[in-house]
Amino acid sequence: MKGLKVNSELKGTFSAIIFSIVIAWFIITFIGQRTVVDGHSMENTLFHGDNLLIDKVSYDFEEPERFDIIVFPHEIGGEKKYYIKRIIGLPGEEIYIDSRGFIYINGKLLKERFGREIMESPGIASSPIVLKEGEYFVLGDNRNHSSDSRDSSVGLVQSDKIIGKAFFRIYPFSKIGFLE
């Protein structure tokens, strides 16, 4: 009798572990995941080592919006990295950055408070760029220390490449909270 009880408890424990693994896999694959900021391109909003939660499901129901912080893959020298940047330009818009570092969308100056400093280089946006359907123009908040859409090696981000929206900082604990 005792052997059957132990065997039954082991089966129950094993089933609970398998169930937990399947649920965790489902959440990480389809709903959200944790990511760590690597680098300084999003300072003064995000800092190297910050741990973030990424919402992977909301863009299945709504379009990304201007100023959302997104995560997308980018390959550098055969190595896949994940970039964290802020959406500046939306599909159908014309983006232009003048020689003084000011951003224009459809000919109007963009009023924003996220850029850490004035951009020294407009990159490929020194001439107007019209975004096609499903294309986004992204910038790091630390504009002069960011590889972003201004750099032709990064370019415009396609909607199907966006992994999700960074929405919550979980570490460091002193800065825990929702991202703006």
Q: Which residues are catalytic?
A: 41, 85
Longest dimension (CA), the chain: 83
All residues at 6 or more sequence positions from 140 whose CB lies less than 8 Å from its CB, including other chains: 41, 42, 85, 86, 146, 147, 148
Amino acid at 164: G
All residues at 6 or more sequence positions from 27 whose CB lies less than 8 Å from its CB, including other chains: 33
- Rounded Cα gap, residues 96 and 89, in angstroms: 10
